[in-house]
């Protein structure tokens, strides 16, 4: 029997008789179990950027609505978050929002430009800029996040929702550069030249990211992912000196909530151990490092998430399946494995290929 046939095992709520206390507590999902290194009946799978431009139903819904506006409309957030869950049967939903939403919410003048990414009107370069533009975030700044998460938890019927935030370094890179950057030259220049401004900026961003995660978990998100997407541009030494303490600050600040914490970045093969050590239960891995090596680097105390190259979805089906199976086999050596891509779904990806991949992962026998 394929493992996937067990997927719809009834929840605790459906089966126990001691109703009151357990009525709202579903049996641990495969996703949360894998994050914690507990036994699973199938390998859980979800995809970074599973909601978004690869889906025709997303493009249709977003017509004429700017990205950041869509993030403030709970009806749209719920629908867009649900779209890939319905279509693919993935084991987790990722909250539809963006890493810059909390910055916009506290008044930073920025926009998301289609095809480019976040663009900041007034880049941050001095302590004065930090103090003027960045204040603490509270739940009152993002009522639409609380409302959207609550709506999702009831729609999802037990499928876990992952909340997320951008990590301080990745947020800082947009704020300092004023937009996307290939080499992060201005970011690193500030980091090396002006430690006081750097510490003030990353300290504030850590508090904002932590608050954004707390709002999502308090409204019902069952896991969090901290995206330090661009941390892979740093040497291990610089990561440890300038960046890790702030990622740790964010992860520590949500430790008491008891939900799994996933820590991910692109091109972070040399940083995996440090990113785990910053305080995550799960380390996200991109495709440039083999998952077997990643498991060794992360160690037995943490789970891994990843790491199929997103372009493999454009390969012939037999190639795609073979490569996915290799990732699944390597994942067996980990404490727990959440299958994912090594970075986000590319906009041109055929949704049917993603569906075939989900089915392939679910058919893999766990031992």
Residues that bind ligand CP3 (CB under 6 A): 48-53, 62, 67, 94, 96-99, 112, 114-118, 164, 170, 227, 229, 344
The angle at the Cα of 223, spanning 8 to 166, to the nearest 5 degrees, equals 140
For residue 112, the minimal CB distance to ligand CP3 (Å) is: 5
Q: Which of 36, 41, 53, 125 is catalytic?
A: 53
117-120 and 223-227 strand pairing: unpaired
For residue 49, the minimal CB distance to ligand CP3 (Å) is: 4
Residues 184 and 113: beta-carbon distance below 8 Å:
no
174 is catalytic: yes
132 is catalytic: no
Of 335 and 338, which has the nearer Cβ to ligand CP3? Answer: 338
For residue 298, the minimal CB distance to ligand CP3 (Å) is: 19
Question: Where on the phi/psi map is residue 124: left (φ > 0), alpha (ψ -120 to 50), or beta?
Answer: beta
**Residue among 162, 161, 170, 137 nearest 275 (CA):** 170
- Written as six digits, the tokens of 111 are 């926009």
242 is catalytic: no
228 is catalytic: no
Q: Which of 41, 73, 87, 98 is catalytic?
A: 98
For residue 362, the minimal CB distance to ligand CP3 (Å) is: 20
For residue 98, the minimal CB distance to ligand CP3 (Å) is: 4
Cβ-based burial of 180 (10 A; exposed 0-12, middle 13-18, buried ≥19): middle
Q: Which of 174, 239, 242, 246 is catalytic?
A: 174
Distance from chain centroid for Cα 117: 17
195 is catalytic: no
For residue 13, the minimal CB distance to ligand CP3 (Å) is: 28
Of 164 and 339, which has the nearer Cβ to ligand CP3? Answer: 164
Residues involved in catalysis: 49, 53, 62, 98, 174
């Amino acid at each position: 029997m394929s493992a996937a046939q067990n997927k719809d095992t009834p929840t605790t709520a459906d089966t126990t008789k001691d109703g009151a206390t357990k009525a709202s507590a579903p049996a641990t999902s495969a996703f949360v179990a894998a994050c914690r290194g507990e036994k699973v009946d199938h390998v859980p799978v979800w995809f970074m950027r599973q909601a978004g431009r690869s889906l025709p139903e997303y493009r249709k819904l977003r017509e004429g609505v700017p990205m950041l506006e869509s993030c403030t409309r709970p009806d749209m957030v719920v629908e867009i978050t649900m779209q890939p869950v319905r279509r693919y049967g993935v084991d987790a939903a990722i909250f539809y929002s963006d890493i810059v939403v909390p910055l916009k919410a506290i008044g930073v003048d920025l926009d998301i430009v289609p095809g480019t990414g976040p663009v900041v009107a007034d880049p941050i370069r001095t302590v004065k800029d930090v103090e003027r533009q960045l204040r603490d975030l509270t739940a009152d700044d993002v009522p639409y996040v609380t409302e959207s998460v609550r709506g999702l938890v009831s729609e999802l019927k037990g499928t876990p929702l992952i909340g997320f935030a951008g990590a301080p370094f990745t947020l800082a890179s947009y704020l300092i550069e004023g937009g996307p950057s290939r080499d992060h030259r201005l970011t690193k220049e500030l980091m090396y030249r002006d430690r006081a401004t750097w510490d003030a900026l990353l300290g504030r961003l850590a508090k904002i990211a932590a608050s954004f995660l707390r709002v999502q978990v308090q409204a019902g998100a069952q896991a969090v992912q901290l995206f330090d997407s661009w941390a892979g541009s740093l040497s291990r030494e610089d990561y440890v000196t300038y960046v890790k303490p702030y990622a740790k600050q964010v992860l520590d600040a949500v430790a008491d909530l008891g939900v799994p914490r996933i820590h991910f970045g692109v091109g972070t093969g040399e940083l995996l151990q440090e990113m785990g050590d910053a305080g995550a239960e799960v380390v996200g891995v991109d495709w440039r490092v083999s998952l077997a090596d990643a498991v060794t680097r992360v160690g037995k105390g943490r789970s891994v998430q990843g790491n199929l190259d997103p372009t493999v979805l454009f390969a012939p089906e037999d190639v795609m399946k073979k490569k996915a199976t290799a990732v699944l086999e390597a994942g067996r050596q980990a404490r727990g494995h959440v299958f994912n891509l090594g970075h986000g779904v590319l906009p041109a990806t055929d949704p049917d290929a993603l569906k075939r991949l989900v089915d392939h992962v679910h058919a893999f026998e766990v031992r």
